[in-house]
Amino acid sequence: MAVIFPSLFRPAACAAVTVLLTPLMADTPLPYRDSNQTIETRVADLLPRMTLDEKLGQLSQSVICEPRHREEPNPSLVRSGRLGAFILAIDPAVSVEIHNQFQHIAVEESRLGIPLLFGYDAIHGFRTTFPIPLGLASTWDPALVERAQAVSARETRAAGVDWTFAPMSDLARDARWGRVAETFGEDPFLTSQLAAASVRGFQGTDPGAPGHVAATLKHYLGYSAAVGGRDYNLTEITPFALRNLHLPSFHAGVQAGALTVMSSFNANDGIPAVSDRHQLTDILRGDLGFKGFVVSDWEGVIESIAWGYSATPAEAARRSLAAGNDMEMVSTSYRDTLAAEIAAGRIPPAVIDEAVRRVLRVKFALGLFEHPYTPALAADKVFLQPDAVALARETVARSAVLLQNPDVLPLAKTVKHLALIGPLGDDGDEMLGTWPGMGRPQDVVTLAQGLRAKLAPGATLEVVRGCDLLEAGPRTRTLMDGSVVIDPVAEARETPGIAAAVAAANRADVVILALGEPRGWSGENASRAELSLTGRQSELLAAVTATGRPLVIVTFSGRPLVIPTLPVNAAWLHAWHPGVQAGTGLADVLFGDAVPSGRLAITFPRAVGQLPLFYNGYTTGRPDKRDYRDLPSEPLYPFGYGLSYTTFRYGAVEIVPPAQPGQPATARTTVINTGRRPADEVVQLYLRDVACSEGARPEQELRGWQRVHLAPGETRTVSFALDDAALGFFNREGRWLTEPGDFLVWIAPHAHIGEGARYTLTR
Ligand code: BGC
């Protein structure tokens, strides 16, 4: 397996001159302090100088978070070298000061002066919060995602954080799982491209250079396959699925040079990922060639006791370290128990040394020995800069997916009176989504503000909340955990909020309904059993629909929603949780200043009972018998789907034989813009391996896409090489194989469309 290992572990990455005043400083710097030495030389020099306690310190990460960030972390642990890293989860107004305060202790007061590493979850932006990753994925634009993550890195590093716990490289296989919001969708190919783009955005070509941070591929491995979509649950991933679904995005991230990987909370086949040697060592290091370090997830090491896998903290620590999990996040079993485990001969010292080497390499690659401190933060020169804000606005417009549009959108610029109704029309905080970084509600342009800025002189916008996101009503009931679900059998009764909304709708030329789920209902530990609108929003929707006014529904959520009562004569724009530029980007789309080009990275089901549902399932032996008694098995909207303000027509797929033996054949088709607007189309290549000797392949697999911009009436021929990368698959041992035989080929606007063209690969 070809693996491009980052060129980061070379001296050029740390070219700056070392000027550190520490107790050890002599006229000639010690080799490990000499930036002219290679990283390997520096590591080899430093390691033998370390005591066992100092080594275990490098494998331990603690947390600094609100509100007790000044007292809580123990400075004496840092001073004695018994702590190597922090999670710095505090406001940027103080984070630089706290970073430098602890770094000062590590660098100037500890025996060897090894700098600390500070990590944080900047997942879709730091202060400039971009759309959630599932929204970013809907752009199908790796270059755009790379630019967004580069902005995030710039802001993150300036706040004293040199390591982000992103990109999430898990697959969204079950929309009940709250963390689908953090994924790049359900498909391994799309996720691979966007995970790699994120790594490039975060790390640049030199993560040690100002404005870059180390990236983390997480959660390794298969976390998203949690049974029932319940967070943290068991996974049952077969070797074939592991290799072809869950692993490719990590492989792509490793090839892009990711410096760290985070092990996941799940246990596959009963083995907690944090202690799974086959995954962490044989596959990650052996097959994928990963050379950085692995950090556990939050208390993940110690959680193997609750799983029922390890009996004691010592056993949990030993098994995780031996498996290949180098650093322990938050829990302290490494620091507390591993010295005794070594003394008792239960773990060889060489295992510790190897883990420490991996951590030190990353610290050298980040240039921390040369530049341990963070310059004072000039927030107004770093955060929310004009280029960042403009990019955020563009990503909002590009991530929104137009799902239904019976000629309601775009809005006429001359519209006289708009009503914006719903709990999400003017709520800044809700726009930020899960893991909002340090994004602030007051920085958000709400939809109300964005629309107002677009109105023609004299036109008006009436904003009515209608109901709250979690308001209990006669048609809702509250479950034992406090969550509120719709009770379809109870009587509807009007409330003052809904009555006011109806009155406003009746006055309006066009009504925009801003509905969805609270941002706290997606993300970690936020699985849902229902994907409906929360609180009384379904009643609000029904009441406003009944007015018969032209209607646009804009939905905000961290996952697909199921809205059985969505009126067919309304437009539906799905906006995810879009971040600080929510209102500007969406107003651009609604008024037609931007033409929608977002495409679903996750399937929209018709009903929760269809879940898990994804486009790349199997035909089964009875392809015509896949429906439920009470529902088709087809989704409401498939993967890849999204409308535009223009229309496109696709020609038939043509297979062009190779020009010369040994070259790949080509699949091509024509795409015509048959509408009246210039627009982007995302032309997608899907393949099916009709008969595979190693095991049946999915009904369709995305193997390429191209974004084309077409003027009205313009035709473009779009071609894809049917090469090894397009036609192959991984066998259970991780070997990439391409078998001669028949393939079906689709070049299409989304998955599951029509008959595929047949292509026969011969040797
Ligand atoms: C999450 C990780 C996150 C970590 C640190 C955990 O609970 O699962 O995704 O990076 O916390 O904040």
In the reported structure, the alpha carbon of residue 329 is separated from the centroid of ligand 1 by a whole-number distance in angstroms of 9
**Spatial contact of 609 and 161, defined as CB atoms under 8 Å apart:** no
Domains and CATH numbers, the chain: 6-365 (3.20.20.300), 401-597 (3.40.50.1700), 648-761 (2.60.40.10)
Q: How far is the CA of 590 from the centre of ligand 1 (A)?
A: 35
**What's the token pair of residue 449?**
């503000």
pLDDT for position 2:
34
Kind of pairing, strands 85-89 and 117-120? parallel
**Residue 298 near ligand 1, beta carbon < 6 Å:** yes
For residue 406, whether the previous peptide bond is cis, meaning omega lies within 30 degrees of 0, is no
- Nearest CA owner, ligand 1 atom 5: 298
Q: What is the pLDDT of residue 173?
A: 96
CA distance 544 to 421: 9
Judged against a pLDDT cut of 60, whether residue 121 lies above it is answered with yes
* Strands, E assignment, 674-754: 679-689, 701-710, 715-722, 729-730, 736-737, 741-748
Query: Cα(164) to centroid of ligand 1, in Å?
Result: 11
Q: What is the pLDDT of residues 313-333, one digit of tens each?
A: 999 999 999 999 999 999 999
Q: 162, 297, 588, 680: which one is catalytic?
A: 297
Q: If pLDDT is split at 50, 70 and 90, which confidence band does 476 have?
A: low
Q: Read off the tokens for 689.
A: 């391996």
* SS3 state of residue 705: strand
The string of pLDDT tens digits covering residues 669-703 is 999 999 999 999 999 999 999 999 999 999 999 99
Among the ranges given (159-163, 392-396, 491-495, 558-562), the one the predictor scored with the smallest mean pLDDT = 491-495
Residue type, 311: A
In ligand 1, which atom is closest to the CA atom of 264? Answer: 8
For residue 484, the model assigns a pLDDT of 66
Ligand 1 contacts CB of residue 184 (under 6 A): no
> In Å, what is the CA distance from 703 to each residue of 42, 189, 357, 686?
42, 7, 38, 6
Rounded Cα distance, 169 and 220, in Å:
8
Q: What pLDDT score does 104 carry?
A: 98
Ligand 1 pocket test: pick from 64, 87, 121 the residue with the most ligand atoms within 8 Å of its Cβ.
Answer: 121
Give the whole-angstrom CA distance, residue 381 versus residue 358: 35
575/258 Cα distance (integer angstroms)? 30
Residue 756, classified by CB atoms within 10 Å of its CB into exposed (0-12), middle (13-18) or buried (19+), is: buried
Q: Does any ligand 1 atom lie closer than 6 A to the CB of residue 163?
A: no
Residue 20 has a pLDDT of: 39
| 8 Å CB contact between 206 and 8 | yes
Q: Please answer whether residues 600 and 639 qualify as being in contact, where contact means their C-beta atoms are separated by less than 8 angstroms.
A: yes
Q: Percent of the chain scored above 70 by pLDDT?
A: 94
Using the predicted structure, report yes or no on whether residue 601 has a pLDDT greater than 60: yes
Q: Ligand 1: distance of its center to the CA of 65 in Å?
A: 13
Give the amino acid at 322: A
Ligand 1 atom having least distance to the Cα of 182 = 9
Residue 67: predicted pLDDT = 80
Strand partners for 672: 649, 715
Inter-residue contact 599 to 185 (CB < 8 Å):
no
Residue 556: count other Cβ atoms within 10 Å of its Cβ. Answer: 30
Ligand 1 lined by 524 (C-beta under 6 Å)? yes
Read off the pLDDT band of 3 (50, 70, 90): very low
Distances in Å between the alpha carbon of 585 and those of 130, 570, 596? 11, 20, 11
In this structure, the residue with its CA closest to atom 8 of ligand 1 is 297
* Residue 577 CA to ligand 1 centre (angstroms): 19
Over residues 494-522, the pLDDT tens digits come to: 678 999 999 999 999 999 999 999 999 99
Residue nearest to atom 12 of ligand 1 (CA): 121
517 ligand 1 Cβ < 6 A:
no
| Å from CA of 121 to ligand 1 middle | 7
CA–centroid distance, 262 to ligand 1, in Å, is: 9
> What confidence tier does 486 reach under pLDDT thresholds 50, 70, 90?
low
Give the contacts of 379 (CB within 8 A, at least 6 positions apart). 92, 93, 127
Q: How far is the CA of 264 from the centre of ligand 1 (A)?
A: 9
To the nearest whole percent, how much of the chain has pLDDT over 90? Answer: 91
Any ligand 1 atom below 6 A from CB of 179: no
In the structure encoding, which two tokens stand for residue 571, read together? 């437009």
Distance CA 310, CA 683 (A): 49
**485 C-alpha vs ligand 1 centroid, how far in Å?**
28
The pLDDT of residue 493: 56
Give the pLDDT confidence of 24-69 residue by residue, as tens digits.
444 689 999 999 999 999 999 999 999 999 999 999 999 999 888 7
- Assess whether pLDDT exceeds 60 at residue 140: yes
> Is the pLDDT confidence value at 729 over 90?
yes
Based on the residue annotation, tell me whether 297 is a catalytic residue of this protein.
Answer: yes
Q: What pLDDT is stored for residue 72 in this prediction?
A: 78
Mean pLDDT (the chain, rounded): 94
Closest ligand 1 atom to 216 CA: 10
Q: What is the mean pLDDT of residues 13-30?
A: 49
Whether residue 165 has its Cβ less than 6 Å from ligand 1: yes
- Is the C-beta atom of 364 inside 6 A of ligand 1? no
Say if CB 741 and CB 690 are below 8 A apart: yes
CA–CA separation, 207 vs 226, rounded Å? 33
Rounded to 10 degrees, the C-alpha dihedral 651/657/662/663 comes to -30
Q: How far is CA 335 from the centre of its chain?
A: 31
* The pLDDT of residue 632 is above 60: yes
Residue 485: predicted pLDDT: 67
pLDDT band at 16 (very low <50, low <70, confident <90, very high): very low
Q: Is the CB of 297 under 6 A from ligand 1?
A: yes
Would you call 481 exposed, middle or buried from its count of C-beta atoms within 10 A (0-12, 13-18, 19+)? exposed
Q: Which two tokens stand for residue 543?
A: 């009441």
Distances (CA, A) of 153 to 12, 126, 148, 643: 21, 8, 9, 32
Is the pLDDT assigned to residue 303 strictly greater than 90? yes
In the numeric block, the tokens 């953090």 are attached to: 182
Residue among 698, 732, 723, 738 nearest 287 (CA): 732
pLDDT tens column, 427-464: 999 999 999 999 999 999 999 999 999 999 999 999 99
| Closest residue by Cα to residue 89 from 62, 114, 107 | 62
Q: Which atom of ligand 1 is nearest to the CA of 265?
A: 8
Closest Cα to atom 10 of ligand 1: 165
Reference 446, options 468, 465, 467; nearest CA is 465
* CA of residue 524 to ligand 1 center, whole Å: 8
For a mutational test of ligand 1's pocket, the pick from 274, 298, 435, i.e. the residue with the most ligand atoms closer than 8 A to its C-beta, is 298
**Residue 19 DSSP label:** -
Neighbours of 714 (CB within 10 A): 12
Is residue 218 lining ligand 1, measured as CB closer than 6 Å?
yes
pLDDT at 13 over 50: no
Predicted local confidence at residue 472, as pLDDT: 73
Which residue among 88, 165, 295 has the greatest number of ligand 1 atoms within 8 angstroms of its CB, and so is best to mutate?
Answer: 165
Say if CB 266 and CB 306 are below 8 A apart. Answer: no
Residue 666 CB neighbours (<10 A): 17
Q: Ligand 1 within 6 A of 299 CB?
A: no
Decide if pLDDT at 206 tops 80.
yes
Residue closest via CA to ligand 1's atom 7 equals 298
Q: Which atom of ligand 1 is nearest to the CA of 262?
A: 10
Mean pLDDT of 527-542: 96
> How many A from CA of 214 to the centre of ligand 1?
16
Most informative mutation of 123, 164, 524, 527 for ligand 1 (most atoms within 8 A of CB): 524
E strands present in 476-580: 476-478, 484-486, 510-516, 551-556, 571-574
What is the number of residues in the chain? 763
Q: In the prediction, which pLDDT does 494 show?
A: 60
What's the pTM value of the predicted model, to 2 decimals? 0.95
Nearest residue (CA) to ligand 1, atom 11:
298
If you ran DSSP here, which 8-state letter would residue 522 be given?
Answer: S
Judging by beta carbons within 10 Å of its beta carbon (0-12, 13-18, 19+), is residue 236 exposed, middle or buried? Answer: middle
The protein residue whose alpha carbon is closest to atom 2 in ligand 1 is 297
Burial label for 45, CB within 10 Å (0-12, 13-18, 19+), is middle
Q: Give the number of the atom of ligand 1 that is nearest the alpha carbon of residue 218.
A: 9
Ligand 1 centre and the CA of 297: distance in Å?
6
What is the β-pairing status of strands 679-689 and 701-710? antiparallel
